[in-house]
Amino acid sequence: MHLPGAIGVLIARLIYPSLGIMDYGGRIANLICFSLIFYFLIKKNEHAKWSMILIFMVGGIQKIFSPSYDVVSFLVFSAFVVNLSDLVRIEKIRDVGLKKAIYTIFLICSFYFIKSNYIFAFFALLGLPMLYRPVIDKVRKLSSLGKTFLSMLIIGIISVAYLFLNKKMSIFTIIKKFIENYMNVELMGNNAKQLWQVVPTTLPIFVNILFILILFIVMMGELKATWATGTVIIFSLTYLVNWFGIFAGFFIDSASLASTNLQGRYLSPFLFFFVPFVQNLGKKFNFTMSEKSVRRLSVWTIIIISVLYLVVTFYRSYVLKITPTWTNNA
């Protein structure tokens, strides 16, 4: 969705009809839009606001001041995960207020206008206790015969779905290539090796390793909370579902370019779904950090990576005379 950028371009065109001015108008409009809405989302996030800031400020450092529609995608996805974190705390469906229900439906519909891969975030809805606990309770109350029949029914549905999908695409081949590309170090290419790159790819890999380590420390120390086991499992699996789903989509479109097209920027927003697992881990080992320490660590991480990115970009552009903002890893 290019609406904020388009408005910025239109305003800039009215000021001075130059391509350069209009380009900067679109960029500034996207930055203002992101800053304002993201600020209110941070204020609303009670569970992992600094984790969200790190993921989207560092992971989106190349996008939030660009004319790209990724800005709107980030905002919709951020709003969705913040709202999801609130819904997790509601025990029963009837306790969901009308405003919360309308807002949730609005966010789900908004995914139609953003990047297609973000729809895999819907898998996390299965991790809401209000949805899975009633099902588990009813299954537990079934007799042995009822559980056996239910198991056979589920296996039958999965088998029929597999046969139907396998006619459209070879699922076994996709799984095999997925493992070869991302689990076998000897076969994976450079793009696959940088799949978990959250910081810009022009920065050294060790910077990305340090960032991910800091991110998980912030997640662990930000809030002492206990998340339901089902929520932890489903939320964590959402990352894998997104990863495999994107690869399958690229593989169907072009098998030879699947691993090349799948880049870290498609996966980094989904790191937020590890918050329940990491916070439960912190709770178990009694990991503590003061709010002030979490804030300082997060702010300095963003500042250092941003400065380093600017220095590297300037060096690549004006000294090395090569593409300044991305690398060709093919």
In the chain the first and final C-alpha atoms are separated, in Å, by: 29
pLDDT at 180 (0 to 100): 75
Sign of the four-CA dihedral 112, 113, 116, 118: negative
CA separation for the pair 23, 248 (Å, rounded)? 35
Question: Is 328 contained in some domain?
Answer: no
Question: Is 79 contained in some domain?
Answer: yes
Question: Is 247 contained in some domain?
Answer: yes
SS (H, E, C) 87-116: HHCCCCHHHCCHHHHHHHHHHHHHHHHCCH
pLDDT at 233 (0 to 100): 95
Determine contact, residues 231/88, Cβ cutoff 8 Å. yes
Question: Is 109 contained in some domain?
Answer: yes
Q: Calculate the CA dihedral of residues 23, 24, 26, 29 and round it to 10 degrees.
A: 180
Question: Is 325 contained in some domain?
Answer: no
pLDDT at 187 (0 to 100): 59
pLDDT at 185 (0 to 100): 58
Q: Look up residue 163 and give its two tokens.
A: 């046969």
Counting the structural domains of the chain, the total is 1
Question: Is 39 contained in some domain?
Answer: no
Q: Is 103 exposed, middle or buried (0-12, 13-18, 19+ CB in 10 A)?
A: middle
pLDDT at 235 (0 to 100): 95
**10-residue stretch averages of pLDDT, the chain, 330 residues long:** 79 83 85 89 88 89 78 90 92 90 92 85 93 89 86 90 77 80 64 74 87 93 86 94 87 74 80 93 88 93 92 86 65
Other CB atoms within 10 A of residue 156 CB: 10
Q: What are phi and psi of 228, to 5 degrees?
A: -60, 145
Q: Please give the residue range of the domain that contains residue 173.
A: 45-319
Question: Is 9 contained in some domain?
Answer: no
pLDDT at 330 (0 to 100): 44
3-class secondary structure, 188: coil
pLDDT at 191 (0 to 100): 61
Question: Is 96 contained in some domain?
Answer: yes
